[in-house]
Amino acid sequence: QLTTGLESAWNKLRGVDVLTKENISEPMRDIRRALLEADVSLPVVRRFVSSVSEKALGADTIRGVRPEQQLVKIVHDELVQLMGGEVSDLVFTKSGPTVILLAGLQGVGKTTVCAKLAFYLKKLGKSCMLVAADVYRPAAIDQLTILGKQVGVPVYSEGTEAKPPQITKNAMEEAKSKNIDAIVVDTAGRLQVSLLCIPFNFQPKVTAHGILIDKAMMDELKEVKKAVNPTEVLLVVDAMTGQEAAALVTTFNIEIGITGAILTKLDGDSRGGAALSVKEVSGRPIKFVGRGERLEDLELFYPDRMAQRVLGMGDVLSFVEKAQEVMRQEEAVELQKKIMSAKFDFNDFLKQSQNVAKMGSMSRVIGMIPGMNKVTPAQIREAEKRLAFVESMINAMTAEEREKPELLAESRERRIRVAEESGKTEQEVSQLVAQLFQMRAQMQKLMGMVQGQEAIAGMG
Ligand code: GDP
Ligand code: MG
């Protein structure tokens, strides 16, 4: 696992005062090995390691920050940069339907992504139509039709006789006439590397990157692209692809030109190498990740979250200390006092949520409160989800209600109103209110313990 390799890298730096060429050489070897084991391609690893080394040696020593923490931070920041730095969402055209063309090998999850994107677009309030341009298997059209029904969006199809470029062009005209905001085009991905699976019309072409390409498929994609000039050409990549991901992305980018990628099946036990290679080799970001087979299992890709996941949260890294470095000490103390006082209200709750979001993870904050244990990555993901959920309810409260949670505790009408405005149930609002009071009580108990310990220490 990447995490284990990196952990041994950090451990080797414990006790050193400053990062030097000598003392980073071994940790850098560990990082290099860890990345290779995570299926990151060699050229990407090389560039990454040399860039991290350079930054580590050039970094000024920060008072109060240990060298290994500094290296963690540098590696983290480089990982974020490697993956594109920022989240990048779909781009829409100003007028006319936005065309999103999906490309990728067979079985990577293109058709599934079509439906997931339709679901995502619907949530954004955009109307959308799916286009069946994978005409080589009748089953593919059926699959898309069923998925379209599930999401509740129209599916445009001309059966298996028509040609994909023409289908797509007609679909766009139809979308235009019906004022549909976006169309998502499902295409065929017939590349098969195994010789036994090569169909008769397969004209293999070995690219400079050593990838076998079904030339007919690439040409057809180019034709489709030419016919409709898509705003987004997204390459769907299976997260399990591993080392070949770099060559695959490079090839598709050179052949058809992509605007981004979607990484699917991240819920499996993939080693994440593909995530780290895409941007570096194509200059194009990963826009979404797929984490399961359900419609809602598609999320925007956040490079910083992925970097944290790659590094391993919780006990591997001194994230608590890193948090202190990010969040100013006074602010932390202030918040902690507030949390522990009876005045902790929904404003504090929200501020805390926002701080937490800013720092990317709950564990660091929780870790700062004495007496609480660090949490596992699964708990962190759960907490992140919970955060968004809670925020929408707090946003629906009045200023007075936020300051005086009692108001909500006492009035059912108020809770119902908050529930309606935030699209949650009354029960969910009641639970949130109860949670705030529970937190207050817990914090005060905890503070009692801390003070008690101080008193005992004082006696000695
Ligand atoms: P296509 O050939 O590229 O169109 O791939 P499909 O959309 O038909 O998907 C192939 C298989 O992968 C199906 O069984 C999907 O349910 C599954 N699949 C797609 N996306 C994901 C994902 O994010 N996670 C998991 N576990 N399975 C997925
Ligand atoms: Mg398909």
- Annotated domain spans of the chain: 2-82, 98-304, 313-459
**CATH fold for domain 98-304:** Rossmann fold (3.40.50)
Q: Which atom of ligand 1 is nearest to the CA of 289?
A: 23
Q: CA 52 to CA 31: how far, in whole Å? A: 10
Q: CA 6 to CA 116: how far, in whole Å? A: 34
CB 74 within 8 A of CB 55: yes
This model of the complex carries an ipTM of: 0.99
**CATH superfamily placement of domain 313-459:** Signal recognition particle, SRP54 subunit, M-domain (1.10.260.30)
56 versus 175: which is more confidently predicted?
175
Write the DSSP assignment of 126-144 as a string of letters: --EEEEEE--S-HHHHHHH
Atom 5 of ligand 1 has which residue's CA nearest to it?
A: 109
**What's the CA-to-centroid distance between 265 and ligand 1, angstroms?**
7
Atom 20 of ligand 1 has which residue's CA nearest to it?
A: 109
**What's the CA-to-centroid distance between 143 and ligand 1, angstroms?**
11
User: pLDDT tens digit string along 310-360?
Assistant: 775 333 333 434 444 444 445 555 666 665 566 778 887 777 665 555 444
φ/ψ of 406, rounded to 5, equals -55, -40
CATH architecture of 2-82: Up-down Bundle (1.20)
Query: Token pair for residue 324?
Result: 């202190």
User: pLDDT tens digit string along 71-107?
Assistant: 877 888 898 899 999 999 999 999 889 999 999 988 8
Burial of 380 per CB tally in 10 Å (0-12, 13-18, 19+): buried
Q: What is the pTM of this model?
A: 0.67
**What's the CA-to-centroid distance between 128 and ligand 1, angstroms?**
21
Provide the pLDDT confidence category of residue 30 given band limits of 50, 70 and 90.
confident
Q: Which atom of ligand 1 is nearest to the CA of 134?
A: 4
Q: How far are the Cα atoms of 13, 60, 68, 317 from residue 9, in angstroms, in the given order?
A: 7, 20, 9, 11
